[in-house]
Amino acid sequence: MSAKKKETAQPAPRGYFHESSRPFTSLIFILPLLIAYEGAILALGADAVHNAAAQWLQNVLSAIGFGRYVLLPVLTIGLLLGWHYASRLPWKFSPWVLPAMFVEAIAWGALLWLVYKGWSQLVGRAIDVPYDLAHLFGFFGAGIYEELLFRVLLLSGIALIIHSAGAPRRASLVPVIVISALLFALAHYDVATSGGQPFSWVGVTFHAILGVAFGVLFVLRGFGITAGTHALYNVLVMLLKV
């Protein structure tokens, strides 16, 4: 009798979708990508491919007096830990979640690659992606730092501002996702960075579609799945050229 009462008093177990969307789990999931990217930056030196979003974030840190590059990955880790703490979520971690997250990220990445392939055939033009090791590691950085900048900081920040102004949380998500997607798209072109691609409406439109997809995925599935999907999508575009 007492054993039965004890059993019913226990909280219901959380499933995969809850576990995989937590910031702490996301941090553990993206750590290999973070280590690989930062390690490549150190190992390859002048030949390394620096992600633009990472450079922008580093410039902000330098402007406020934190010039050492190592502080950027530390900031990333600290931000995810702080987010998890502020959410008052348990610090438990289930290792079985990681391989499932990898499979899910591959599935989403493959789906986005199919969208890219269809778009390229529709407009008769594909993105020219160099095929080398430096760019491969650079794509890992894109998955982490572009999602950190455009989804965790900008999307969440704009959503907080709009919600604070009195807009319902769910109603504010649509314009916020669109705004962050447009900023994400423009960041890939020479209107935003000297190292970007030549501006074209076709390219910006496609990257805006990608940005909306990543925004929706971030809202529904959290940072880890979105960052992993972004990185793996870029790798698929490089390896499976249209």
Give a yes or no: residue 10 inside a domain: no
Give a yes or no: residue 4 inside a domain: no
Give a yes or no: residue 1 inside a domain: no
**Single-letter code of the amino acid located at 159:** A
Q: pLDDT tens-digit profile of 160-211? A: 888 777 777 777 788 899 999 999 999 888 776 766 778 888 889 999 999 9
Whether residue 149 contacts residue 53, with contact meaning beta carbons closer than 8 Å, is answered with yes
pLDDT in tens, the chain (242 residues): 444 444 444 444 578 999 999 999 999 999 999 999 999 888 888 777 778 888 888 888 877 776 666 678 888 999 999 999 998 888 888 899 999 999 999 999 999 999 999 988 888 776 666 677 788 888 999 999 999 999 999 998 888 888 777 777 777 788 899 999 999 999 888 776 766 778 888 889 999 999 999 999 999 999 999 999 999 999 999 888 75
Both tokens of 104, joined, read 């899910």
Give a yes or no: residue 166 inside a domain: yes
Distance CA 100, CA 144 (A): 19
Range of the structural domain that residue 187 is part of: 16-87+96-239
Give a yes or no: residue 117 inside a domain: yes
For residue 190, what pLDDT is reported?
A: 78
Please work out, in degrees rounded to the nearest 5, the angle formed at the alpha carbon of residue 200 by the alpha carbons of 197 and 203: 75
Structural domain total, the chain: 1
Which of 214, 205, 220 lies closest to 180 in space, CA to CA? Answer: 214
